[in-house]
Amino acid sequence: MFSDYLADFLDYMEIEKGRSLKTIENYSLYLNRFYEFAGDIKVGKIDLDMVSKWRKWLNRYKGEDGREVSQTTQNYHLIALRSFLKYMARRDIKTLAPEKIELATSKRPQVSFLTSDEVMALFDACDTSNIIGLRDRAILELLFSTGLRVSELVKLNIDSINLDKGEFSIRGKGQKDRPVYISESAKIAIDHYLKARRDNYEALFVQASKRKDEEDITISRLTARTIQRIVGRYRTKAGITKHVTPHTLRHSFATDLLGNGADLRSVQSLLGHADISTTQIYTHVTDPQLKEIHKKFHAK
């Protein structure tokens, strides 16, 4: 039965395949939705007709908050099911061949990025006369300097980075390591922030909180959600009308590199993309040759 193998599959993905706990959590969610749709069926009864009906079910599905499942997320559900079926094949359990499940063609996301002037306006919106402003300036500088994902940023400890060398290694999606390089301005911003710190907490970026009925101040690691709010606040202060998130700074990092002549493979490595097609979403907005062709040949 489906439920008999689900827990074993998730353990296999975590232990044998080395997937992150977040990936395991997502796979559990997606496959439990298949269980919700199909019931505790025999895995041998999973066929293309059932998968087709499940896709229709997902397309009409609404969560408790009323949100629908996007086409991209529907594909993640199918990827999870394909991985489960591959696991079944490894155990010589007869069921649907995973390669028969095709993913839906999804629209390529529109890339939103900041210009150099907008990036500087974002930085300059930080009041560096206090430790909060120093911290936030360091966060913004580091996001733009490295192209880190916000999930990677929040995991950093003080001893994770080497300011003298201006580089460190990060373990990103798929448990893959990649090199990360820090710009001079980001190094300076981080150094100023760390020198202003008066705590011994290991996390690179922290927040201090104090309850009304308590005297002690609690130091804790910043969360991804808090950093999202920080970026949004400085977007407003800088007068930037675009929607700006930590990922916008990652996009800006990539487009800045490509716009200044970096090759696609190098940018792929710096971003930690497993597939170069993911990196290619930036090329249509950064190709300097296209700009020169337009300038040379377009009628004035």
What CATH number corresponds to the domain at position 52? 1.10.150.130
Residues ≥6 apart with Cβ < 8 Å to 170: 148, 152, 177, 178, 180, 272
Point out the least confidently predicted range of 126-135, 200-209, 244-253, 262-271. Answer: 262-271
Q: Are residues 72 and 128 in the same domain?
A: no
Count how many domains the chain has: 2
| 300 domain residue, yes or no | no
- Active-site choice (273, 284, 291, 298): 273
Q: Are residues 85 and 127 in the same domain?
A: no
Residue 103's DSSP bridge partners are none
| 204 domain residue, yes or no | yes
| 63 domain residue, yes or no | yes
> 100, 128, 145 — which closes off a domain?
100
Q: Are residues 131 and 248 in the same domain?
A: yes
- Active-site choice (173, 197, 221, 237): 173
Active site residue 284: no
| 107 domain residue, yes or no | no
Residue with tokens 């910043």, as numbered in its chain: 222
Q: Are residues 198 and 79 in the same domain?
A: no
> 74, 100, 126 — which closes off a domain?
100
Q: Are residues 177 and 281 in the same domain?
A: yes
> 76, 100, 124 — which closes off a domain?
100
- At residue 136, the pLDDT reads 97
Residue 300 binned pLDDT confidence (cut-offs 50, 70, 90): low
pTM (global) more than 0.75: no
Q: Are residues 90 and 130 in the same domain?
A: no
**121 neighbors 238 (Cβ within 8 angstroms):** yes
Q: Write b or e for each residue in 136-156: b if 16 or more Cβ atoms lie within 10 A of its Cβ, otherwise e.
A: bbbbbbbbbbbbbbbebbbbb
- Active-site choice (282, 296, 298, 300): 282
* DSSP category for residue 212: T
Alpha-carbon span 167 to 187, nearest angstrom: 10
Q: Write b or e for each residue in 169-195: b if 16 or more Cβ atoms lie within 10 A of its Cβ, otherwise e.
A: ebebbeeeebebebeeebbebbeebee
Active site residue 247: yes
Residue with tokens 């155990």, as numbered in its chain: 91
- Active-site choice (82, 149, 187, 251): 149
Q: Are residues 126 and 80 in the same domain?
A: no
Q: Are residues 120 and 251 in the same domain?
A: yes
Q: Are residues 208 and 283 in the same domain?
A: yes
Query: Cα separations (Å) of 247 from 153, 157, 172, 262, 283?
Result: 11, 20, 14, 20, 17
Q: Are residues 178 and 79 in the same domain?
A: no
Residues ≥6 apart with Cβ < 8 Å to 161: 168, 182, 190, 204
Q: Are residues 154 and 222 in the same domain?
A: yes
For residue 239, the surrounding DSSP H or E stretch is none
Query: In which domain, by residue range, is 166 found?
Result: 116-293
Q: Are residues 86 and 130 in the same domain?
A: no
- Active-site choice (19, 77, 135, 250): 250
- At residue 81, the pLDDT reads 94
- pLDDT higher than threshold 80 for residue 257: yes
Active site residue 67: no
| 278 domain residue, yes or no | yes
**85 neighbors 97 (Cβ within 8 angstroms):** yes
| 214 domain residue, yes or no | yes
Task: Quick: pLDDT tens for 67-83.
Answer: 888 888 899 999 999 99
What CATH number corresponds to the domain at position 206? 1.10.443.10
Q: Quick one: average pLDDT of 43-48?
A: 91
- At residue 287, the pLDDT reads 58
| 298 domain residue, yes or no | no
| 57 domain residue, yes or no | yes
- At residue 17, the pLDDT reads 84
- At residue 131, the pLDDT reads 95
